[in-house]
């Protein structure tokens, strides 16, 4: 593939997906890069080393979308076969679809049951206090059992062991 074919495919893939100035900037970047490599390699080697221009375009588009959080209406310009100047309008709906998918997945438990904002915080605190209260209550019962039953048994066994060792000598 020649440099011009590569740049044309890249431009066609970016057309309608990015603002015109972004397309021109990316085309100029790749043109300058490939022209700097022209003395060292053939055009086919340079373009083969870069890979598929459609894949590069997809990466450029995704990077642009990640860096721009709003939907933008784009107008792209091209020349038709007869040399006539054409303007085509498009809007980037891929970003909207991605944003909608993220919203679908981004549901907390409280949003699912319809609790939001300060009410969700209040419910969370109440649940936290109930859980902590239950843990402390169970801990208090375990401590009482230990003090009333286990500790006396341990002391009795330790005392008997001490006395038996003392009288054996």
| pLDDT tens, residue by residue, 95-121 | 455 555 555 554 555 555 566 677 878
Closest by Cα among 82, 83, 65, 66 to 74: 65
Query: Cα separation of 20 and 76, whole Å?
Result: 6
Task: Match 């100047």 to its residue by tokens.
Answer: 85
Closest by Cα among 53, 60, 38 to 1: 53
| pLDDT tens, residue by residue, 28-75 | 999 999 999 888 999 899 999 999 999 999 999 998 888 876 554 455
Query: Cα separation of 89 and 76, whole Å?
Result: 6
If phi > 0 it is left, if psi is from -120 to 50 it is alpha, else beta; for residue 115 that is: beta
pLDDT score of 155: 96
Model-wide pTM > 0.75 = no
Closest by Cα among 127, 99, 121 to 108: 121
H or E element that contains 69: none
Q: Are residue 11 and residue 91 in the same domain, yes or no?
A: yes
Mean pLDDT value across residues 126-154: 95
Query: Cα separation of 67 and 95, whole Å?
Result: 11
- Into how many domains does the chain fold? 2
Residue of higher predicted confidence among 78 and 169: 169
Q: Are residue 115 and residue 32 in the same domain, yes or no?
A: no
* Residue 159 predicted with pLDDT over 60: yes
Q: Are residue 71 and residue 113 in the same domain, yes or no?
A: no
Question: Domain limits at 28?
Answer: 3-105
| pLDDT tens, residue by residue, 8-32 | 999 999 998 889 999 999 999 999 9
pLDDT score of 160: 94
Q: Are residue 85 and residue 118 in the same domain, yes or no?
A: no
Single out the residue in 74, 90, 105 at which a domain terminates. 105
Q: Are residue 70 and residue 146 in the same domain, yes or no?
A: no
């Amino acid at each position: 593939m020649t440099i011009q074919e590569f740049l044309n495919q890249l431009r066609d893939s970016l057309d309608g997906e990015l603002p015109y100035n972004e397309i021109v900037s990316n085309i100029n970047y790749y043109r300058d890069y490939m022209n700097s490599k022209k003395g060292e390699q053939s055009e086919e080697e340079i373009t083969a080393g870069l890979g598929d221009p459609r894949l590069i375009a997809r990466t450029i588009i995704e990077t642009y979308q990640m860096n721009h959080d709003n939907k933008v209406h784009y107008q792209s310009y091209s020349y038709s076969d007869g040399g006539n100047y054409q303007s085509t309008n498009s809007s980037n709906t891929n970003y909207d679809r991605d944003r909608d998918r993220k919203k679908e997945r981004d549901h907390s438990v409280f949003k699912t049951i319809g609790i939001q904002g300060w009410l969700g915080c209040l419910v969370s605190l109440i649940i936290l206090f109930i859980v902590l209260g239950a843990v402390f209550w169970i801990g208090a019962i375990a401590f009482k059992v230990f003090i009333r039953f286990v500790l006396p048994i341990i002391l009795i066994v330790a005392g008997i062991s001490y006395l038996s060792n003392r009288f054996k000598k």
